[in-house]
Amino acid sequence: MHSLGKDAIVHWTAYWQFESKASGPQRPLLDLIIEPVWFEFTDVLADGAKVLDVATGNGPVALSCAQRARANRKRLHIDAVDAAGISPPNQLPYSDGHLPTVKFQGGIWLEELPFQNDEFDGVMSQYGFEYADEQQAVAEVSRVLAPGGRLRLVIHARDGAVWKDIGDRNRRLNAVMADDGAVNLVRTLVQAQQKGDAKLFESKLKHLSSAVKDAEKLAVDAPPDDSAVFYSREFLYVFMNRQQYKISELLQSLEDGWKHAVGTSSRYEQMLQVAKSAEEMSGLCENLKAAGLAIAAVRQICDPANGAQIAWQLDAVKPSSAG
Ligand SMILES: C[S@@+](CC[C@H](N)C(=O)[O-])C[C@H]1O[C@@H](n2cnc3c(N)ncnc32)[C@H](O)[C@@H]1O
């Protein structure tokens, strides 16, 4: 029923619980470009409006709208929901006195929103709507939107700058997680050591110096926060200093790191899969129209520094006359 399946969501839960405030690399810079999109959306909502942020993650959009509304002395009631087990109050440095205006709830799928018909004056989503089953999500957001209500979606752009960056990050990560890539090799070596399998240990050890060289090569073009670089350096460092640790603790810490790396790769792959081309955006518009919404605008959000597309922005309205 859900486009990516329930298994994919566990990686988001792990991410929101333990790893992050926001959803991707390069985030602070891109937030600065996209934030005005949400400020503008907040500004057109009436005082007292009810708003829903779907696939909210740890709530950057919901909180940014709450802060903007508060600054303009406007009361908004914001529900912010996500299929994953989210943890925004613990994770966001800016979750201060604005929080009471945002009600967060995890375990809520876009395909089955637990809200009344016509309940919201605004529905929004940043890099979230596209992860759900499109037909069902379209039906649900149109159902909960009140007549006259506005929908704004910011959607990953296929072939856009972020998509390309994530693709590169994913390729590097897959390389260091491949059989004789630095991360997997270290894991296998330590597993062999724990099992006392000297033959496997010796045969794998032969590949270590080329794995180190490959990891170094990957790092040359990688940004400073690259996961492949991070995990390969961590794993190699731990392996080189393995005498300092108990083997069981060493293995446990590598298994934890491996689990995080698998989660990162899954999230990258999900993003690469759900990002929309121009044609897919047209298809989405048709689906929204069929559900009774009027399309107000579709535009590219671009990086002013270089003109590269970062995302799509789609605005739609539920006509007041819709019954
Ligand atoms: C890239 S993150 C975006 C989070 C947040 N909007 C942000 O901008 O930081 C995608 C989010 O979509 C959520 N998600 C994926 N499929 C979903 C679904 N079918 N229903 C609700 N949430 C979903 C994930 O749990 C994840 O938190």
Q: What are phi and psi of 207, to 5 degrees?
A: -90, -5
Q: Are 155 and 23 part of one and the same domain?
A: yes
Mean pLDDT to the nearest integer, 209-229: 94
Residue 114 within any structural domain of the chain: yes
> What DSSP line would sit under 56-114, residue for residue?
-TT-HHHHHHHHHHHHTT---EEEEE-SS---HHHH-TT-STTGGGEEEESS--GGG--
pLDDT value of position 322: 46
38 and 14 within one domain: yes
Do 14 and 77 reside in the same domain of the chain? yes
Q: Are residues 90 and 238 in the same domain?
A: no
Q: Pick from 23, 63, 92, 268 the residue to mutate for probing ligand 1's pocket: most ligand atoms within 8 Å of its CB.
A: 23
Contact between residue 92 and residue 6 where contact means Cβ atoms under 8 Å apart:
no
Say what the pLDDT of residue 269 is.
96
Q: Are 260 and 198 part of one and the same domain?
A: yes
Are residues 311 and 288 both part of a single domain? yes
Same domain for 174 and 110, yes or no, is no
Asked whether residue 137 carries a pLDDT value surpassing 60, the answer given is yes
Kindly state whether residue 28 falls inside one of the protein's structural domains. yes
Number of H helices, E strands in the chain: 12, 7
On whether both 145 and 221 belong to a single domain, the answer is no
* Domains in the chain, number: 2
Look up the domain containing 215 and give its range.
162-272
Using CA positions, which residue lies closest to atom 6 of ligand 1?
A: 56
CA–centroid distance, residue 83 to ligand 1 (Å): 7
Q: Measuring from each residue's beta carbon to the nearest atom of ligand 1, which residues come in under 6 Å?
A: 2, 4, 9, 12, 22-23, 55-57, 60-61, 82-84, 109-111, 126-128, 131-132
| Domain co-membership, 238 together with 282 | no
- Answer whether residue 107 is part of any domain: yes
| Cα 113 to ligand 1 centroid, rounded to whole Å | 14
CATH value at residue 13: 3.40.50.150
| Per-position DSSP letters for 15-68, written without gaps between them | IIIII-SSSSTTHHHHHHHHHHHHHHHHHHSPTT-EEEEES-TT-HHHHHHHHH
Residue at 168 is within a domain? yes
Residue 248 · residue 189 · CB < 8 Å: no
Q: Which atom of ligand 1 is nearest to the CA of 4?
A: 16
pLDDT at 27: 61
Rg, Å, the chain Cα set: 22
Are residues 34 and 118 both part of a single domain? yes
| pLDDT on residue 1 | 44
| 30 shares its domain with 153 | yes
Q: What backbone phi and psi angles, to 5 degrees, belong to 184?
A: -70, -35
Q: What is the mean pLDDT of residues 92-100?
A: 53
Q: Across residues 123-138, what is the average pLDDT?
A: 97
Same domain, 187 and 167: yes
- Which tens digit of pLDDT belongs to each residue from 61-87? 998 898 899 888 888 999 999 999 998
Q: Is residue 322 part of a domain?
A: no
C-alpha 62 to ligand 1 mean position (Å): 13
Q: Reply yes or no on whether the pLDDT at 54 is more than 50.
A: yes
Q: What does 177-200 look like in DSSP terms, one character per residue?
A: HSTTSHHHHHHHHHHHHHHT-HHH
For residues 268 and 293, what is the distance between their CA atoms, to the nearest angstrom? 31
CB atoms within 10 A of CB 249: 9
Q: What is the pLDDT of residues 162-177, one digit of tens each?
A: 999 999 999 999 999 9
Examine residue 1 and state whether it is found in any structural domain, yes or no.
no
Q: How high is the pLDDT of residue 26?
A: 56
Q: What is the pLDDT of residues 201-216, one digit of tens each?
A: 999 999 999 999 999 9
Choose the residue to mutate in 81, 131, 310 for probing ligand 1, maximizing ligand atoms within 8 Å of C-beta. Answer: 131
CA distance 322 to 296: 16
Asked whether residue 323 is assigned to any structural domain, the reply reads no
Alpha carbon separation from 293 to 139, 142, 258, 266, 318 (Å, rounded): 10, 7, 44, 33, 5
* Alpha-carbon dihedral 22, 25, 29, 31, rounded to 10 degrees: -30
